[in-house]
Structure 1
Amino acid sequence: MSKPKIAIIISSTREARFADKPAQWLLEKAKARSDFDVELVDLRDFDLPFFDEVASNMWAPTQDPKAVAWQKKIAEFDGYIFLVAEYNRSITGALKNAIDQAYVEWVKKPAAYVGYGSVGAARAIEQLRLINVELQMVPVRHGVHIGGSEFFTVWGGGKNEPMSAIEAVIEPSLNDLFNNLTWWANATKTARAEDQKQAAE
């Protein structure tokens, strides 16, 4: 079976977002791995409308072509790393809307989390885990939380140092995340393939 394909999803769409800095660092680290392929998926590139379908695509076909394009992109992947910004103790509205624009594409796939902010987006990620469970996803245990002094070291409003300045602190957690995500991506990919085989018989 081919290597799993993983999406890094940037959850913030603000012009002044911090996300680009950790996203490029995360992408570079992910590309150094040989056990999965990776692609950066930026919500800015999809210009999604607010969810306005009769139901999720679990129950009725989606009509909006922009939402359909998003579903097709999400369907390409075997797992996801959400790069999470925390807005008022929750995930961004853009991310929640993007998640709601699909359903069947998320099912039986793992999700991992890299968060940033004063508490490393811990509160937002806890909420995102619950959302992912409702979508029949597999939230992995290990995550990366760029918070406290590490966040203010690399944030543009703080010292604005390169991500390498905090690697010694967060890279062990990132390696655990990659290992955990890869295991679940392979396991669920194999299981989905078996389901498809049985359904075709």
Structure 2
Amino acid sequence: MSERILVFYGSYRADRLGIRLADYVVRTLRSRGIEAELVDAKAVDLPMLDRMYKEYPQGEAPEAMAALAGKIRDADGFVFVAGEYNWGVQPGLKNLTDHFLEEWFWRPAGVISYSAGRLAGARAGLAWHGTLSEMGMVVISSTVNVGPIAKTLDAQGRPIGEAGEALDTSFARFADDLTWWSEAARLQKTRKAPPY
């Protein structure tokens, strides 16, 4: 059985460079036989958080929110492609994730951070670890940091130069860890139901 991994991306900017990285992640996971799907916060376009999915009466949540809740529940794991904005997290990605809670529980998540600079979004990546843990996910220890992104991936999301080679190497380890944990969580749920 193939692992089902959702890849979340959250920039709303007109000239988004991080989409290259999100596309790279989806394409590379698929090349490993993983069922990967991109969830682009800009395309989903949820409003600023007013009510979480669970706070709507049954059948009354906006259609895009209900559809995404089902995808999250059905996934075996998650990847968050996280840009760094002023030493922090992307507001679009944070807003998207905050619409859900129990839907995330009992699955692994990995963080891939990026920025235009040499620190590669590491501060945002660190912030996401605590946030995702609080939301009920097990955050894997492997991380990938990409920066400067324009010198790592071309416009089609293909690795370029030494930075691109480094991305391929670090992503291989990251993908191995994520799929190990997603398989472990999926198999454990067949043995024993989560405690709540």
User: TM-score, length-normalised on structure 2?
Assistant: 0.85
Residue pair 1:22, 1:163 contacting (<8 A) in 2 also: no
Residue 129 of structure 1 aligns to a residue whose secondary structure is helix
> Cα offset for 1:67?
2.5
Q: Which residue of 1 aligns with 2:13?
A: 14
Q: Which residue of 2 aligns with 1:127?
A: 127
Residue pair 1:21, 1:163 contacting (<8 A) in 2 also: no
Q: Which residue of 2 aligns with 1:191?
A: 188
1:174 to 171, 175, 193: 171
Residue pair 2:152, 2:164 contacting (<8 A) in 1 also: no
Residue pair 2:153, 2:160 contacting (<8 A) in 1 also: no
Residue 17 of structure 1 aligns to a residue whose secondary structure is coil
> Cα offset for 1:182?
0.4
> Cα offset for 1:85?
0.5
- Structure 2: state its 5+ residue gaps: none
Residue 8 of structure 1 aligns to a residue whose secondary structure is strand
Q: Which residue of 2 aligns with 1:151?
A: 149
State how far apart, in whole Å, the 2-side matches of 1:46 and 1:81 are.
Answer: 17
For 1:13, the aligned partner's letter is Y
Q: Which residue of 2 aligns with 1:111?
A: 109
Residue pair 1:111, 1:138 contacting (<8 A) in 2 also: yes
User: TM-score, length-normalised on structure 1?
Assistant: 0.83
Q: Does 1:89 align with 2:72?
A: no
Q: 1:8-59 CA deviation, whole Å, 9 max, x = no partner?
A: 111212222112222222222111103x221111112211011112x662x7
State how far apart, in whole Å, the 2-side matches of 1:10 and 1:161 are.
Answer: 14
Q: 1:72-109 CA deviation, whole Å, 9 max, x = no partner?
A: 23223111111111011111111111111011110011
Taking structure 1 as reference, are residues 194 and 161 closer, same or farther at Cα in structure 2, changes over 3 Å only? closer
Q: What percentage of residue pairs aligned between the two structures are identical?
A: 25
State how far apart, in whole Å, the 1-side matches of 2:194 and 2:82 are.
Answer: 35
State how far apart, in whole Å, the 1-side matches of 2:111 and 2:91 are.
Answer: 17
For 1:87, the aligned partner's letter is Y
State how far apart, in whole Å, the 2-side matches of 1:151 and 1:49 are.
Answer: 28
After superposition, the CA RMSD in angstroms is 2.7
- Structure 1: state its 5+ residue gaps: none
Residue 180 of structure 1 aligns to a residue whose secondary structure is helix
State how far apart, in whole Å, the 2-side matches of 1:180 and 1:109 are.
Answer: 13
Q: Which residue of 1 aligns with 2:65?
A: 67
State how far apart, in whole Å, the 1-side matches of 2:81 and 2:169 are.
Answer: 17
For 1:136, the aligned partner's letter is G
> Cα offset for 1:128?
0.7
> Cα offset for 1:70?
2.5
2:45 to 40, 44, 47: 47
Residue 20 of structure 1 aligns to a residue whose secondary structure is helix
Residue 103 of structure 2 aligns to a residue whose secondary structure is coil
Residue pair 2:17, 2:150 contacting (<8 A) in 1 also: no
Count how many residue pairs are aligned between Structure 1 and Structure 2.
191
State how far apart, in whole Å, the 2-side matches of 1:86 and 1:69 are.
Answer: 28
Residue pair 1:13, 1:44 contacting (<8 A) in 2 also: yes
Taking structure 1 as reference, are residues 164 and 25 closer, same or farther at Cα in structure 2, changes over 3 Å only? farther
